[in-house]
Structure 1
Amino acid sequence: MIFKKVILMDITFDCYGTLLDTRPIQTWLMAFGTAHGIDGQAAWSQFELWKDRLMYGETTLPFSALLKRDLAYMDMTLQTGSLFSNHFNDLIKLYTTLTPWPEVIAVLRQLREADHRVIIMSNSTSSLMAAHLNALDHEVDQTILPEQTRCYKPAIPFFDYASKQLEQPHLHVAMGYWWDVVPCHKIGWSCVWINRLKLSALADIKPTYTLPDLKGLPLLVQSHAG
C-alpha cells in the first residue's frame, strides 16, 4: 500500500529580497553608473522604475527579455546611448549568481522536514530560477512564475492562479510590500512580511505577521498552524 505524504501547510515565498539577497544588483548598477559619469542612485532608481512599469505594460514578456527592455529604457531616460543595454549579459550573470540570506536554507529545510511544502512565487523566469534553486540547495517543492500565470505580481490573477495550486491552510512569506503584502491584504491571504528594511506598514494595510528576517519563521508557522 502506498501512503500519500500529508502536507501540514503550504508556505509560499517571494524570491528576490525574501530568499535571495539582491543587493549585489543595486551595488553593481550604482557603481557602473558612477564609473560612467551617471548618478549611481539615479541609475538604480531608473532600473527599478522601468522594471515595475514593464511588469504592468508587458505582462507576457519573459523576465529576461523584460530586463533587457528595462536597460533600453534606462539608456533612453538617462541619455546614455546603449551604455546599459550593452551590459545586459553582465546583469543576467549577476542574477544567476545571487545567493540566499544566511538563515534561508536552514529555515527552508526545517519547514520541509516538518512536513510543510515550500513554494516560490516569483516575478522571474525558469532559466533564472534554475540557478536560484541551485543556490537554495533545492529546498523548494514547487515554483509559480509569470510563464504560468501570464502576469506579474502584484496583479491579482497571479495570486488567483497560485490559489488553485495550493493546499489549505496556507501562509505567504515576502519582503515585498507593494508586490506581495498589498495583494495578500486584498484577497485575504495570511501573510508574513519579512521587513528587512525596517519600514512602517500603511495604517490600513497591515500584514498578518511581521518578522525582521526568516529566523523566527518556523516557530511562527508552528503557532499559526496550531
Structure 2
Amino acid sequence: MQQSAGQRWATFDCYGTLIDWETGMRRALETIVPGNTSQLLAQYYEIEKQVEGEQPFRSYRNVLAEALRRSARSTGVMLASGAEHVLANTLPDWPVFPDVGRALSGLRAAGWKLAILSNVDRDLIAGTARHLPVVFDDIITAEDVRAYKPSLNHFRRFREKHQLADENWVHVARSYYHDIVPASQLGIRRVWINRSRETAPEQLATVELSNLLTLAPTLQQLCG
C-alpha cells in the first residue's frame, strides 16, 4: 500500500486517448487484408467487447487475435494463417497523438503524478511506454487485475494501492463505455476526450474536451 495523501494524480486510458489506435489498427490490417480494413474494423470494435467479457480471462494478446478471427469470419474476409496476430505484433509501435507531449509535460510541470489504467498485457504496454514523452508513475493493466474495463477492477486496484482522496484524482479517457461509465460509478472525476465528436448516451463526464491541448489547465481548475 502506498500513501499518496496530498498528491494529485491523473490516470489515463492509453489506447485511443494517448495512442492513436485507430490509425495503428488500420495500418496493421492493411498489411494483411488491403482494401477490407473499414469493413473489418466496423465489426471488430463490437466483437472485441464480447471477447473481453468472456470467461475464463484471456490475455489481451489472445483477445486481439480471437476478436480479429471472429470479425473476419463474420465479414467473409479470409485471413492467412497467423495473420490474426498482426495487431498484437504491431501494437507497441502504434503512433502517439501529437497533443500528448504538451499535455503530459504540462501536468508533470504542475506537479501531477501520472498513471495508466489499460486493457492490455504488461509486455505490450511496456513497448508502448518507450514511445511516450514522459515516464509514468504507475501502470495497471488488465493482466494485473484479471479483468477488462468497464470492470471496476483497475480503478479499485489503483485506489487501494495509492489510498487516494477522491478530490486528488482525475481519470482521463476517450472511451465512454470502457472508462467514463465505470469511473462515474466510483465517483471519480472524469475528463472525456471526445476526439470523434460522439454523442454521449448520458451526461456522465465531469468535463468534455475534444483533445488534450487544454488538459493541464483543465485539471488545474478541477483540483485547484
TM-score bracket relative to the smaller structure? 0.7 to 0.9
The code of the aligned residue for 2:222 comes to H
Gaps of 5+ in 2: none
- Aligned AA for 1:77? S
1:57 and 1:174 map into 2 onto residues whose CA distance is 23
**What runs of 5+ residues in structure 1 fail to find an aligned partner?**
none
Deviation digits for residues 183-208 of structure 1, max 9, x if unmatched?
A: 12222110000010111223x43200
Residue in 2 that maps onto 1:132: 128
Identity of aligned residues (%): 26
Instruction: Give the corresponding residue for 2:207.
Output: 209
Are the structure 2 counterparts of residues 133 and 116 from structure 1 closer, same or farther at C-alpha, using a change threshold of 3 Å? same
RMSD: 2.3
Aligned to 2:42: 45
Deviation string, structure 1 residues 3-38 (Cα, Å, up to 9, x no partner)? x99863111000011001112313543675454xxx
Number of equivalent positions: 218
Residues in 1 aligned to 2:172 and 2:151: alpha-carbon distance in whole angstroms: 17
Aligned residues of 1:7 and 1:116 also touching (Cα < 8 A): no
1:165-176 matches, cutoff 5 A:
165-166=161-162, 167-168=164-165, 169-176=168-175
Moved more, 25-34 or 68-77: 25-34
- Report if the CA contact (8 A) 1:7-1:115 is conserved: no
- Structure 1 runs, 4 residues or longer, greater than 4 Å off: 4-7
Q: TM-score if structure 2 supplies the norm length?
A: 0.87
SS across alignment from 2:200: coil
Contact 2:32 2:83 survives alignment (8 Å): no
Residue 211 (structure 1) shift = 0.8
Instruction: Specify the alignment match of 2:160 in structure 1.
Output: 164
CA 186–215 in structure 1, closer or farther in 2 if over 3 Å, else same: same
Note the 1:15-34 alignment, pairs <5 A.
15-22=14-21, 23-29=23-29, 32-34=32-34
* CA displacement at 1:157 relative to structure 2: 2.8
C-alpha distance 9-91 of structure 1, shift in aligned 2 (>3 A): same
